[in-house]
């Protein structure tokens, strides 16, 4: 009996390896391809969505915009044409969640700096204070790469409408002004069709890991 097993030992090992390869191949063939959801306003917490779009169930896109970045350049949706990007809302003098969010954006920038398909976009929710010089100083302190990441300021009404009607990422409770809001920690993943594909807690390292994974999933959709 021992001689029998010794004689067929090599054959058994080869068959075992082949079996593993075949099972793995079959599993991958039938495994559903991972795809990210396409978020519509009616899928998002109503607290973060303007009442005029809360019931929208399809065709939601990020609206056209025209803002000014840290270098004084006009930034429109054309800068992000055919690009995947991560957007958030912040202000330079924030001392609560913003520093953590910005540090995480810096880490994302490091990971995507050689990837021409992915960009970053941070909107100031305090544009009256976040002038171009203020944004430039902040960008230099944080190591922002201009070609990858725009810190933008501009018309407060436009920024707030983008936050509430397009990115679905901010609350309205504040000092009661018509265009007053409290920004959240949300990072928003936007695809090349200007559709929202994910929301992530910008203060949570695990959420940032998930965001990086999802960027890879999204890039595969375009290959």
Q: Is 60 annotated as a binding residue?
A: no
Find the range with the poorest average confidence among 124-133, 152-161, 180-189. 180-189
CATH of domain 41-221: 3.40.30.10
Residue 17 has pLDDT above 70, yes or no: no
123 CA to centre of own chain: 13
pTM of the predicted model as reported, rounded to 2 decimal places: 0.84
pLDDT on residue 174: 56
Q: Are the C-beta atoms of residues 54 and 41 closer than 8 Å to each other?
A: yes
In the structure, what pLDDT confidence band is assigned to residue 26 with cuts at 50, 70 and 90? low
User: Residue range 43-71: average pLDDT?
Assistant: 96
pLDDT on residue 175: 55
Does 117 or 180 have the greater pLDDT score? 117
Q: Is 183 annotated as a binding residue?
A: yes
Structural domain boundaries in the chain: 1-31, 41-221
Residue 20 has pLDDT above 70, yes or no: no
Does 2 or 182 have the greater pLDDT score? 182
d(CA 198, CA 195): 9
């Amino acid at each position: 009996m021992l001689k029998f097993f010794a004689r067929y030992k090599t054959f058994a090992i080869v068959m075992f390896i082949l079996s593993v390869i075949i099972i793995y191949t079959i599993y991958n063939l039938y495994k559903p391809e991972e795809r990210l959801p396409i978020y519509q306003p009616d899928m998002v917490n109503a607290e973060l969505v303007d009442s005029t779009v809360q019931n929208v169930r399809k065709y939601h896109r990020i609206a056209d915009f025209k803002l000014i970045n840290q270098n004084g350049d006009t930034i429109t949706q054309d800068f992000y044409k055919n690009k995947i990007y991560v957007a958030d809302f912040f202000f330079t003098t924030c001392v609560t969640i913003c520093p953590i969010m910005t540090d995480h954006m810096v880490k994302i920038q490091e990971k995507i700096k050689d990837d021409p398909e992915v960009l970053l976009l941070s909107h100031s929710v305090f544009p009256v204070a976040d002038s171009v010089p203020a944004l430039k100083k902040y960008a230099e302190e944080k190591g922002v790469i201009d070609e990858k990441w725009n810190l933008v300021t501009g018309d407060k009404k436009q920024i707030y409408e983008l936050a509430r009607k397009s990115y679905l990422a901010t609350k309205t409770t504040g000092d009661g002004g018509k265009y007053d809001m409290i920004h959240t920690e949300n990072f928003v993943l936007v695809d090349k069709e200007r559709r929202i594909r994910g929301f992530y807690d910008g203060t949570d390292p695990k959420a940032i890991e998930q965001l990086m994974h999802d960027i890879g999933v999204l890039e595969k959709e375009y290959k």
